[in-house]
Amino acid sequence: VKVGGKHYRTVWVQGGKVKLIDQNLLPHEFSIATSASSMQTAAAIKDMTVRGAPAIGAAAGYAMAQAIGEAKGNWRAAKASRKLIESTRPTAVELFHATARVWQAAREDSGRARVRSAAQEASEQARAAWEEASAIADESAAACRAIGEIGAGELFSHGNNILTHCNAGWLACVDWGTALSPIYFYNRSGGRPFVYSSETRPRGQGARLTAWELGHEAVNHRIISDGMSASLMASGAIDAVIVGADRIAANGDTANKIGTYSHAIAALHHGIPFYVAAPTSTIDFSTPRGGRIPIEQRSEDEVHWVKGADEKGVIRRVRWTAPGSRAINPAFDVTPAQLITAVITEKGIFKPGELWRVV
Amino acid sequence: VKVGGKHYRTVWVQGGKVKLIDQNLLPHEFSIATSASSMQTAAAIKDMTVRGAPAIGAAAGYAMAQAIGEAKGNWRAAKASRKLIESTRPTAVELFHATARVWQAAREDSGRARVRSAAQEASEQARAAWEEASAIADESAAACRAIGEIGAGELFSHGNNILTHCNAGWLACVDWGTALSPIYFYNRSGGRPFVYSSETRPRGQGARLTAWELGHEAVNHRIISDGMSASLMASGAIDAVIVGADRIAANGDTANKIGTYSHAIAALHHGIPFYVAAPTSTIDFSTPRGGRIPIEQRSEDEVHWVKGADEKGVIRRVRWTAPGSRAINPAFDVTPAQLITAVITEKGIFKPGELWRVV
């Protein structure tokens, strides 16, 4: 994302440390968090300093590389760190793909060497791990760019007025975004997209992050409450819906931020196309259908407490719900394949029932 | 509603003044606002100190009585006040029913007198106006009680797990509530209702008011974000949906708080019954269908700013959306009759297409 004329990835490496745009401080403060250890990076994933499936994947890859470096050849220690990294967020499959890839790259390197000291070997493994983590991030950025090019024509064939939910933009990815990438591509190509950004309770990724990104990209947009989408559809204000994905099952069922499924049902009811945009790394062929995707349950405090800036710009948290009342907070829902018009990937556009063609 | 062992109506008259539970201060503070003039009461309707269609109706009736008293026989002045009262909220039809009834009662009284001074006549008209306004409030309370008795058996025949949206409880009415009245009736009769209270962005009537009421009535409940209802329905957690209404058109199309229509579509998709509960005064036979119901557009600041209590209990407003981004804020949506299982009224339960039977 471009901030103050400078282009930033959402997560990157600098001076041997992992750097992350701190998404908990946005939209009120743009700040870069630095992580010097796998534990810090894992904590950043868990507390959502970094969020969004592809960005989580990249951060998890770097965390795994940090852990392998820290372990200095002690694979039991590395394994414990891997477990910890993988315990941060259960739904986004790219996290698990990334840790597995980096782990594998380091392990394979073990076998390759002829004669070297244990210290040399550990250092070589760490190097291989960091290389693989960087490759994951670069591939992810390239995939998101391709999603933008491929998706723009398809999405805007229906009209210029697009609904999106949560944040599947620059901040959710290493670069460009998934659901927002076609919108940015179209906008930069001279198109005139108009985006309804569904605020996405409870954490407000649509109100805070997507709106912030769209503003920085000079895309015309309005924030709406999540419950407004159906009546906008009924009035003809929305031409198509596009969202990201945290995990796509083999049959095309898609886990994404809570509230996605409501928009999908409303789109079906009004005959409006509903797209999922995601790199193919989001597809989990080992999960046959959506019912098998683990859904993260987060703290009910996220429903009760809202963070924002007061009239003087001071960041504060306020409880807006009735004291003593409890809430529930499933972080994701599953949209069945039948409600999805197509999945837009870096390898092309697929019917959700034909994802096997990706392989 | 019962607070501290004492029973309160939502709006009532005391010492010649209109008293209102201040709903903008709830759930953090329970406070009674006093209105000594029609202008103050109209302002209380507009700024939502009092809200909910039947409570708006009762407050508007009292405001009209205040205005007629203030006018002292100057009907041009009274008419100007009536216009002002009627300009506060365009969607709830009970507001217009109430001002018309009070106006009519005072006017009819004009014709009745034989020999009396202008001052005597004005005073008699004011008395008639206040009597009519009180009758409206009493009828509304009785209707809501009947809705509870009539609706409980129907609603809970589907199971104990109920979704509701916004606040159609004690606070939305003079007494008892509409959508929540069957729940309170069932709970007091020894039933064990479980209520999902959809928080109702942007103003949080579900999170703030319904949850607060349910807590005071010891009804087991959980607050959910508006976008969570569809996945709860898919998982079998919801047996029926019940909401109130701000205006029901002659064909059964129902205007209610924004977000209602999303829940209704999701209920249809999952084969879950969807009820509207409202006194028959909410039916507007002069509006043939939902497309003709005027929808209030409120300030976008309601989407941007959230009010709540900070860690120390201090009430603060915070802006949680991206600075510079704009929002839209339609206050209501229209649920078509085909999505409504039945309308529960004080005169019985009607199919939305058969509301003419009410007359």
Q: B323 and A201: CB-CB below 8 Å?
A: no
What would the mean pLDDT of A111-115 be, rounded to a whole number?
63
When scoring B195, B260, B274, B325 by the number of chain A Cβ atoms within 10 A, the one with the most, hence best to mutate, is B325
Please, what is the angle between helix B118-156 and helix B93-112, to 10°? Answer: 140
- Chain B: nearest CA to A102, how far in angstroms? 35
Contact A288, A355 (CB under 8 A): no
Return the structure tokens found at A226. 């999540």
Task: Fill in the amino acid letter for B217.
Answer: E
A203–chain B Cβ distance below 8 A for any pair: no
Distance of alpha carbon A118 from its chain centroid, rounded?
38
The 8-class DSSP code of residue B327 comes to B
Quick check: pTM over 0.90? yes
Q: B225 and A324: CB-CB below 8 Å?
A: no
SS (H, E, C) chain A: CEECCEECCCEEEECCEEEEECCCCCCCCCCEEEECCHHHHHHHHHCCCCCCHHHHHHHHHHHHHHHHHHHCCCHHHHHHHHHHHHCCCCCCHHHHHHHHHHHHHHHHHHHHCCCCCHHHHHHHHHHHHHHHHHHHHHHHHHHHHHHHHHHHHHHHCCCCEEEEECCCCHHHCCCCCCCCHHHHHHHHCCCCCEEEEECCCCCCHHHHHHHHHHHHCCCEEEEECHHHHHHHHHCCCCCEEEECCCEEECCCCEEEECCHHHHHHHHHHHCCCEEEECCHHHEECCCCCHHHCCCCECCCHHHHEEEEECCCCCEEEEECCCCCCCECCECEEEECHHHCCEEEECCEEECHHHHHHHC
Contact B343, B350 (CB under 8 A): yes
Contact B84, B39 (CB under 8 A): yes
- Provide the pLDDT for residue B328: 98
- Chain A: nearest CA to B145, how far in angstroms? 25
- Provide the pLDDT for residue B113: 57
Residue A246 is a catalytic residue: yes
Q: B228 and A318: CB-CB below 8 Å?
A: no
Q: What is the CA radius of gyration of chain B?
A: 20
Return the structure tokens found at A51. 């969020």
Q: What is the ipTM of this complex?
A: 0.94
- Provide the pLDDT for residue B178: 98
- Contacts with B94 (C-beta within 8 Å, 6 or more apart), sequence order: B53, B54, B56, B57, B60, B279, B281, B282
Residue B128 pLDDT exceeds 60:
yes
Looking at the partner chain, which of A27, A231, A305 has a beta carbon nearest the beta carbon of B322? A27
Strands (E) in B179-253, as ranges, are: 194-198, 220-224, 240-243, 247-249
Give me the residues of A, 11-50, that contact B with CB < 8 A. Answer: 26-28
- pLDDT, tens digit (0-9, with 9 covering 90-100), for A293-304: 999 999 999 999
Handedness of CA A279, A280, A286, A289 (dihedral sign): positive
Q: B325 and A28: CB-CB below 8 Å?
A: no
Give me the residues of A, 219-278, that contact B with CB < 8 A. Answer: 221-231, 234, 258-263, 265-266, 268-269
Residues B37 and A171: their CA atoms lie apart, in Å, by 53
pLDDT category at B216 given cuts 50, 70, 90 is: very high
- Chain B: nearest CA to A220, how far in angstroms? 9
Q: What percent helix, strand, coil does chain B show, rounded to 5?
A: 45, 20, 35
Q: B325 and A262: CB-CB below 8 Å?
A: no
Looking at the partner chain, which of B215, B226, B268 has a beta carbon nearest the beta carbon of A322? B215
Residues of B in contact with A315 (CB under 8 A): 318
**What percentage of chain B has pLDDT greater than the value 70?**
98
- Given the DSSP bridges, would you call strands B32-35 and B161-165 parallel, antiparallel or unpaired? unpaired
Strand partners, A349: A344
Tokens 């119901």 correspond to B293
- Provide the pLDDT for residue B150: 97
Residues A116 and A108: their CA atoms lie apart, in Å, by 15
Residue A113 pLDDT exceeds 60:
no
- Provide the pLDDT for residue B114: 66
The 8-class DSSP code of residue B244 comes to -
Direct distance between the N- and C-terminal alpha carbons of chain A, in angstroms, rounded to an integer: 31
Q: B305 and A306: CB-CB below 8 Å?
A: no
How far CA A193 is from CA of A220, A239, B190, B320, in Å, comes to 7, 11, 55, 24
Residues A358 and A280: their CA atoms lie apart, in Å, by 7
Question: What average pLDDT does the structure give for chain A?
Answer: 96
- pLDDT, tens digit (0-9, with 9 covering 90-100), for A249-278: 999 999 999 999 999 999 999 999 999 999
- Provide the pLDDT for residue A4: 87
- Provide the pLDDT for residue A166: 98
Is the previous residue joined to B294 through a cis bond, with omega within 30 degrees of 0? no
- pLDDT, tens digit (0-9, with 9 covering 90-100), for A7-64: 999 999 999 999 999 999 999 999 999 999 999 999 999 999 999 999 999 999 999 9
- Provide the pLDDT for residue B359: 81
SS (H, E, C) B295-322: CCECCCHHHHEEEEECCCCCEEEEECCC
Residues A221 and B242: their CA atoms lie apart, in Å, by 33
- Provide the pLDDT for residue B235: 98
Contact A66, A34 (CB under 8 A): no
